[in-house]
């Protein structure tokens, strides 16, 4: 199994709330969600939540090869609950949550699961790239955040408006009319997007947190095809390592350069000037 992985916190001094890992035949990526330092009812924190859920999920998908990914995720959410139900308030409305991407290859089939706004890129032998992402939280967010985006990122007014926006968004987590995300409730797993593809039709699968997809979905400086070319595969074996391939770390560097060119979010309004960014690129052929 050939995997390239890079993960960078938003700031070098901050805890990275993304988690990504792979074992032969499976990979997961999670992006822990919440406001750093804000009350969550959990003594462990968001990075603990995403890493613990991610580790348990990777274990479940790799050791229970016939159990559907949705059930593996529900089991893992239950297992995390049992780890901190005694110490933490799991009914807290801002309890830690996380996006989830999981992929598993076995018996000629690649299974995938996507919950929340992390992205899965499937590159096939024809050179086509399919992006699987769950935009439901972004759609809800866009409705709520228009007033926030009129303010310069990092200004005092922006901080206040952003806190109000996040409070409103938090109230819509795992609610009808809101969006679904992995948190204390195993039911969220049933709302994940899932699918399959023949392994032999694919050249690579790439898992990205939203801090790493900004060049495409926020800054509009690149396409998904460009993203794959940058991380190392554009759909055929011959092109791996071609000019323009900089690997996951190089792509995250490009994101940081774009962010540095717009530190107060005037060109690209955004909640965080920089975000945790993670890319896991799995070469299949
Ligand atoms: Zn806890």
**What is the rounded CA–CA span in Å between residue 155 and residue 157?**
5
Ligand 1 centre distance from Cα of residue 53 (Å): 12
Strands (E), the chain: 2-8, 18-23, 26-33, 97-106, 109-115, 119-124, 129-133, 193-198, 202-208, 277-283
Indicate the DSSP class of residue 254: H
**What is the rounded CA–CA span in Å between residue 166 and residue 267?**
21
Ligand 1 centre distance from Cα of residue 184 (Å): 10
Enumerate the β-bridge partners of residue 29.
20, 101
Domain boundaries, the chain: 2-133+181-257+275-283
Ligand 1 centre distance from Cα of residue 81 (Å): 8
Neighbours of ion ligand 1 (CB under 5 A): 42, 44, 84, 88
Per-residue pLDDT of the chain (285 residues; tens, 9 = 90+): 899 999 999 999 999 999 999 999 999 999 998 765 678 999 999 999 999 999 999 999 999 999 999 999 999 999 999 999 999 999 998 899 999 999 999 999 999 999 999 999 999 999 999 999 998 888 888 888 888 888 888 889 988 988 888 888 888 888 888 899 999 999 999 999 999 999 999 999 999 999 999 999 999 999 999 999 999 854 433 333 344 688 999 999 999 999 999 998 889 988 788 999 999 999 998
Q: Is domain 2-133+181-257+275-283 given the CATH code 1.20.1630.10 in the classification?
A: no
Q: Would the CA dihedral through 153, 159, 164, 170 be positive or negative?
A: positive
């Amino acid at each position: 199994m050939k995997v390239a992985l890079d993960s960078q916190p938003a700031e070098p001094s901050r805890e990275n709330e993304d988690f990504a890992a792979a074992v032969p035949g499976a990979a997961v990526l999670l992006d822990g969600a919440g406001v750093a330092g804000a009350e969550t009812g959990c003594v462990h924190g968001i990075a603990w939540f995403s890493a613990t859920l991610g580790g348990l999920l990777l274990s479940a998908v790799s050791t229970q090869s016939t159990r559907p990914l949705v059930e593996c995720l529900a089991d893992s959410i239950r297992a995390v609950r049992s780890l901190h139900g005694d110490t933490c308030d799991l009914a807290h409305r801002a309890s830690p949550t996380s996006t989830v991407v999981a992929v598993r290859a076995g018996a000629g089939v690649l299974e995938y699961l996507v919950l929340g706004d992390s992205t899965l890129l499937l590159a096939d032998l024809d050179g086509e790239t399919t992006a699987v992402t769950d935009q439901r939280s972004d759609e809800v967010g866009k409705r709520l955040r228009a007033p926030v985006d009129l303010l310069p990122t990092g200004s005092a007014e922006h901080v206040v408006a952003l806190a109000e926006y996040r409070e409103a968004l938090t109230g819509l987590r795992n609610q009808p009319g809101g969006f679904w995300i992995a948190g204390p409730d195993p039911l969220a797993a049933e709302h994940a997007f899932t699918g399959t593809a023949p392994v032999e039709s694919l050249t690579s699968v790439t898992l990205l947190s939203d801090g790493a997809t900004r060049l495409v979905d926020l800054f509009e400086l690149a396409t998904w095809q460009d993203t794959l070319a940058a991380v190392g595969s554009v759909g055929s074996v011959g092109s791996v390592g071609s000019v323009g391939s900089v690997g996951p770390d190089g792509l995250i560097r490009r994101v940081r350069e774009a962010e540095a060119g717009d530190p107060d979010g005037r060109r690209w309004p955004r909640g965080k000037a920089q975000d945790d960014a993670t890319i896991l690129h799995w070469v299949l052929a």
